[in-house]
Structure 1
Amino acid sequence: MQRLKAPLEGARRALGTLRARLTLAGIALLALVVLLNTLTLVQRAEQDTLVEQRDRELVKAERIAEVLSGRVLELQGALAAVAGQLDQRTLHDQAALERFMTDRIVLRRMFGNVNVATADGTLRVYGEHSSLRKVVANVADRAYFRQAMDKAQPSISEALVSRVLDEPVIVLAQPLQGSRGPFGMLSGSIRLGSGGLMAQVLQYRGAGEADALLVVTDERGRILAHPDIGRALQHISTEPRLAQAWDDWVRMGRPLEPAGVSAQQEGELVSVAAVSGPQWLVWRAMPQQRLLAPLHDARRLAITWAVLMIVAASAALLGLVSWLLRPLQALQRRAQHLFDPAFDPHAGWPAATGEIARLAQALRHAGAERAQMDAFNTELLRRLEGVMAAAPVGIAFTRDNRIELANAELCALLGREAGTLAGQPLSALGLRQDGVLALLRRATRAFQAGQPYSDEMELRLAHGGTFWAQLRVQPSRGDEAAPGLIWCVLDVTAQRTAREHLRWSAHHDPLTGLANRAALEQQLEHVFAARPRSMPAMLVAMDLDHFKPINDSAGHAAGDAMLKAVAAAINGCVRVGDLVARLGGDEFVLLLQRCPPERALLIAQAVCAAVAAIELPWEGRTLRVSASAGVAELQADMFEVAHWLKAADRACYDAKGAGRGHARAALVS
């Protein structure tokens, strides 16, 4: 025990020396800086990688949605072309009908199966890729059949189980048009299992993306396509890699964005893009861990190199400190004889520089201590000015409402030359003259509460412009402003602009600039809750007539241009204060507050007339649409907003049934 005590005591004395303390402090600081810098750079690289990959995933989901939309349009076009060649006489001649369908082998190969049905829903012929056969079945109870026959327009079914194939399919239906209306239906089924259109979508995974998950669902979340075909018709919430993303998409208001949106899912990058037309959703999930694996390896390698650098730098630092502190040892020996009369008080002091030289001078000239203190304070102020000059934010020190010190960054923010703020009043910080005292009162209350004062305000530039700044003020000592104030100024104009843009985007349709569904529902709830003070209030549901042929024949760009023109026409007819919203597709809703029914009907008719008057030049042709509108009044006995919307929708359908292109008021029941 005694043998260990002596070495331990020697080690304790060695570690207590200035040389050891400086060395250990330098090593600790060096290690902290190197490790923090390494970890910060790697973490920033991870964040940048995820942001960049999220954008790529959105583009991939959007492209798949575009391909799927184009494929559906191609299939609908093929059905329409064949339906135009099938007349009523052929439909009722079984032999002729079978010959007709036998010759349409291309159409049969495009679908899982092709069916021809009469107006009562009876299947006359059933065709697959290589053969025709007769089946006994009736599809009159199917929603897609009723929609195609009642509206005399193509329809797409939701996912259902085929009565013939006994497997999940989606049916595209095309009415057979006669002079008196539809006399039958031509339909094709898309199998959701192997070999179908949905299975083809799953092939759109890039090289090296074996762990990427691609799923297609309808709006309600039912799975239409999945790598595991057994999941067809299950809900997407049963897929662990997309369950949280589904909940997040629902919280976002179920956006049907062809350009795609990002949804939150732990451990995954999830992108959701809407398929225009059938309103399906393409879900694409990519594991974050796979994306970040190279960066994690790089982080381990960087930390290893950082440790090696720290060890090497520590050894060099120890040697440098030992060499620099040699004069200190000589000073220590001379200081032991400081009061020895045998020694000349001005002789024997080591020649040194820096702190050691200043210490030797202090011992020789005790009377010069104050002068040395002044020199030290001057050096400290110079270093402080260096720190302020390097700071990325504007910094100023004020006393008695005057600026005593301001860094170059603050001068640059205010559009002034460096060094021109010193001696100026507080208003030179860009504050309004009449607002300086009010700001100081607010700051004083914050100081008394033990808090710095922070606010976001608009500051004036020297040349006359303005910018938004985050202003932080705190006393230089304690909670009193008398000793002086420290001001920190940060330009937040870009952040504020971004917040305003996000706030606007949350309640507006990006294509037309009109209010979106969320804004409409919020205003409807407000009007509904304020009854009877909010009455009379009218709701106008409007749907464009013959809009789909524009998309089909001229393209979606033409459709978007027409929607913008329709939005402008509607805005030109409504009153100031009326709310115009686009729900999606070609559906619009007008909320007319403090408007009697007669006036609302006139406005709706004016809107229909304005839409009908649109003539949109497009690639050598003129595009036109019309609009049908339904007007519904808010009633005191309505139980919920949905009843009001339903009344307006019903009136709109009545207007369409009565010939389209005009407005009709809802019947009061």
Structure 2
Amino acid sequence: MSAHGPVRSEGDVQRWPLPGPLVWQLVCLALLAMVLSGVVSAWLLARSAGQQALEQLQSQQTDEVEMVARLLASKIEQSQKVLRTLAAGITPAMLDSPALLQGLLQQGLPAVPFFDAVQVARQDGQLRVNLRNGRFESLAGVEPVERDALRRTLVSGKPMVSELVAGRASEARVLFTMPLLRSDGAVLGVVAGALRLQSQGLLPASMAPPQRGHSRLVVFTRDGTILLHSDPARTQTLVRDEPGLAQAHARWLAEAQPITGAGSTQRLPGYIVSMAGIPLPQWMVARVTDSGAVLAPLQEAQRQAWWLATASMALLGALVVLTMLWLAQPLAHLCERAQALWPPAPGPAPDWPRAGGEVGALVQVFQYLEQQRAHHQQQHQALAGRFQAILEHASVGIVITRGGRLKVLGRQACQMLGYTAQELQGQPARILYPSEADYAELGARVQAGFAAHGAFEGEVCFRRKDASPVWARVQGRAVQAHSMRGGTVWILEDITALRAARQHGAWAATHDSLTQLPNRQGLEQRLHLLLAERAQRLSVAPPVPSPEPAPAGQGCDGVVLFLDLDHFSVVNDVAGHGAGDDVLRRVAGLVQAQVRQIGWAARLGGDQFVVVLPGCTLAHAQVVAEQLRATVQAWAPAYQGRSFALGVSIGLVVLDTARDQVQSVLHAADMACYQAKRAGRNRVVVGDRHSPHGPDTP
């Protein structure tokens, strides 16, 4: 797997290992990436060049056929104007007198010599004049196609351009007709002017550019008769014999598209066909180009470029391989040294490779890891022991779940549920619930709680191993903030006895059904007992009067906090009373969690709460109050896709000799809270210790 070569290093001969499989894979990957990128780039470039050439050709052809169509349309319009001028000079009396008509046409009017032939017919269809090439000929010499065009104009009363009047290629002509109208719009007759197809006034041979091997300009009628072609021999033949144009014409007929002056281009196998229409005579102008002949020079240049690119890639690939193999020598040496780290190799460790850059940095990392590995293992074992001790001695049940399965369970949780940790670890959490419906309902509650509050808190009924129910107050938080994928930590507190006590009427009379906290009656009862105990102590051992006032926080038997939520009405108004009730339950849980170890909380009603801290000093109570305020402010509940910012105004009063009645204590705390509201909300205000009514006012 390695080769040996002489290297001078401190007088010894060291091995020069060959690169390992990873380096060879990287070399192959680099070569493959280089070849693929070169091939794909060249293909994309060639394809792009071909597409650009075809798109440019399409644009040029579309513009060309539109220009030719406009030119022919202008010629036809000019011919109609000339014929209209001639028609304006014919009176109703002339239609009844062929001599008058002949005299008019012999006067040398400019419109007469413009046409190769002129015919005039009355409204009854009788032909009155047949002038051809400056000579009057027999009326019987008018061809049926010309007579039909005259009759159609008499019937429709509109100018027309006839179909091609066939003959020899040099004698083919087109007939323009113009109705003769009275002042009331009635048709008196018709005048017709014929133009040879290849005359200067219509389609002279000079209009068609010289024939090119790969491109043809064609003018044809709607039925497919060619009027003008780059190859004069193709005139008066059919479009169906034109390669490329035949397919485009057939598709156009199948789609039944109207003839307009707007150009369009189609890409057909081997051809690019651009067409534009001339509406009045129903003619089409087309340019047909052999796309293979257009791209042939470009393809030849691309083939030469391919050979040059292949040679360049081969040379560059060889250079890349040699360079990577040379650069990989320190990495190969480092790989051998790293393999000696795990498992540890017996005997003295080989020297570390000497290199700079990334390899040098890796050398330093490996040296440090070798020194710290044992230390980290010891720390890991110590942390694991501490974590296990927490699980064994915690006063509440601790459960960690991930992916719907039980991963870690504390001793208290196992005892509460009647299982051992080995029986539950790795099992689906579903086995702890009475039914699938209960499990699904709890899942919906958990999702809603995490969506609204980033956590879950509620009362849950579990099924013990013996199938008996056990109720627990459950608090859940994600191991990783704002994500449940890393697992969830659950705190379980057995409340089975508490729920049984709630069934008695005495408990319901003194507790709030929404938050489960003591209500006003329960608060007054407990606060009355606290004040009575204080009065009894003072009667047995009255305080010794002192000439100096007691420092703040001394000489009191506790503190009462009066809490009033700020902006709570916004939640009710915007998200509804259901969201408002959820906020009250959550705030009650936050407050109770903060003061459970040092006091107790109650709900007076609405969004007002009271916290009683027996035996707490003023300084400590201020810290607790500020923590409560900050906790509520930091919490941002979300309902119906909208977050709400809440605050809490807190009034604080101490229990001293100035306040020995429940009502006076609550009134003073309420006044202090009111002062906090007036001072700007979301703050803590301490009531005046020497006044039984409330705080100092400025």
Same fold (TM over 0.5): no
Bin for the TM-score computed over the shorter chain: 0.3 to 0.5
Of the two, which has the highest radius of gyration? 2
| TM-score (normalizing by structure 2) | 0.43
